[in-house]
Amino acid sequence: MARRFYLEGKSKIQIAEEFGVSRFKVARVLETALERDLVRIEIRVPAELDAERSDALRARYGLRHAVVVESPAEAEESPDPENLGEVAADLLGELVNEGDVLGLAWGRSTIHMAAALDRLPPCTVVQLTGVYDAGTAERGSVEAVRRAAQVSGGDAHPIYAPMLLPDAATAAALRNQTGIARAFEYFDKVTVACVSIGSWEPGISTVHDMLSDEERGHYASLGVAAEMSAHLFDADGRRIGRDLGERCITVKADQLRRIPEVVAIAGGQRKGTAIDAVLRSGLVTSLVTDTSAADYLLTAGQAPRPALNRADPDGP
């Protein structure tokens, strides 16, 4: 009865005649189907895109693609509203071609994006960073990689390891493990990558939250303004604290720079400074964000150099 009503569009009277019962009986059965979770109803409000802000942001930072979403009023100050993931999933469906290698870095926004994917050409999917917490791997980056591979019908190469290790020796040992080494072999083959951006404050940067108070203070003294895939940046987009990378399971910044399409998914007023810093680094080619972050970015100091000029701002 539920299939007839919800999927085939039959009326309750038509269903009643087919099954030889009253329409009131049909109504009770449909109510029971909802109560027992046999039927789930989902209402999705399409995200409102702001074309004017999108064009202005793309021009200001020299991006290949910039998509600005109108966020709900109650979520203006929240970092990475969930609807960014839905919009990013649509963009990814257009950017990825058959045979590509798709790289996914750790981040709440990339996890939301993967969950929203409903179309993707056949491609290989590789995890670009370790996980925030090994105990949540199945619900985080690993699951995102599996989900994307399932939608595309391609191979998945997850990384079952923490992003941050106690020391460089432990990180080096893990990188040599068979499964992790196999994923790392794909880093130079990635053609499209999705990354998240974190502000240097509690709850908005996973790396910040994983470090000790002393370590946070040290990197803060260097002028850290943003974090992306365990790489730290100052307000001008220069990489700092490079020693941290030696302790991390993550794609190298130089490898990111060589990837033809790097899509960052980040929004909210609290991330404005961090997004600006990462865009100035030249590592990102496209951005999915919201109006509150876009308004900050469009007035953030001196206009940056074009992102598509992807030379390292730190020099050789």
Q: In this predicted structure, what is the pLDDT of residue 311? A: 66
DSSP symbol at 316? -
Q: How far, in Å, CA of 66 to CA of 281, rounded? A: 16
Q: How far, in Å, CA of 3 to CA of 56, rounded? A: 47
Return the structure tokens found at 73: 């009023």
Q: In this predicted structure, what is the pLDDT of residue 128? A: 96
Looking at the DSSP bridge assignments, the partners of residue 232 are 227, 240
Cβ count near 307 (within 10 Å)? 25
Which residues have CB under 8 Å from 55's CB, separation 6+? 66
Which long-range contacts does 211-218 make (Cβ < 8 Å, 24+ apart)?
Answer: 211/164
Looking at the DSSP bridge assignments, the partners of residue 264 are 195, 287
Tens-digit pLDDT string for the chain (316 aa): 998 888 888 888 889 999 999 888 999 899 999 888 888 876 554 568 899 999 999 999 999 999 999 876 655 555 667 789 889 999 999 999 999 999 999 888 898 899 999 999 999 999 999 987 544 444 567 889 999 999 999 999 999 888 999 999 999 999 999 999 999 999 999 999 999 999 888 777 778 888 888 998 999 999 999 999 999 999 999 999 999 989 999 999 999 999 999 999 999 888 999 999 999 999 999 999 999 999 999 987 776 665 566 667 665 4
How much is the pTM? 0.79
Q: In this predicted structure, what is the pLDDT of residue 191? A: 97
Cα atoms in the 13 Å half-sphere on the side-chain side of 268: 21
Q: In this predicted structure, what is the pLDDT of residue 137? A: 42
Q: 79: closest CA among 185, 170, 172, 206?
A: 206
Contact (Cβ atoms closer than 8 angstroms) between residue 300 and residue 61 = no
Contact (Cβ atoms closer than 8 angstroms) between residue 171 and residue 165 = yes
Contact (Cβ atoms closer than 8 angstroms) between residue 89 and residue 117 = yes
Q: In this predicted structure, what is the pLDDT of residue 309? A: 62
Q: In this predicted structure, what is the pLDDT of residue 100? A: 97
